[in-house]
Amino acid sequence: MKKKLLSVSVIGLFLFATSPADANANYRLTITYQKSASAKPVTWQLTCRPAGGSHPAPKSACQELRMATEPFRKPPESEMCTQIFGGAEVTKVTGRWAGNRVNRTFTRTDGCEIARWDQLQLTLSGKSS
């Protein structure tokens, strides 16, 4: 009886430890998108592994993030960028990606920021080009 109880406990512990809520804790983001300064911000949750949350396209957004090279890396201070204004859109991303903390704001205020935005457009705005 003890052996059976132990194996049931171990199975229960395994199921608890691998529940969907815990499985993606290292891939959980909050994304707040604002089309313009006067627009009301929209906030989505995005989880990956497995894809889910309130984001309009969670599967595609997770794939876009996986394909990006260091999607949340801060740009270097010395980066030279063209002074082109690409629009007033702003997105704030917080949470965890690949186990690392994320706290990053994306804009379209210059050529470098536009390039970063374009790499993650679906994730950041909820829509593809």
Can you give the chain as a three-state secondary structure string? CHHHHHHHHHHHHHHHHCCHHHHCCCEEEEEEEECCCCCCCEEEEEECCCCECCCCCHHHHHHHHHHCCCCCCCCCCCCCCCCCCCEEEEEEEEEEECCEEEEEEEEECCHHHHHHHHHCHHHHHCCCC
pLDDT per residue as tens digits for the range 54-77: 999 999 999 999 999 899 988 888
Is domain 23-70+79-125 given the CATH code 3.90.550.10 in the classification? no
Domain segments of the chain as ranges: 23-70+79-125
**Is residue 21 over pLDDT 80?**
no
Q: Please state the pTM of the whole predicted model.
A: 0.79
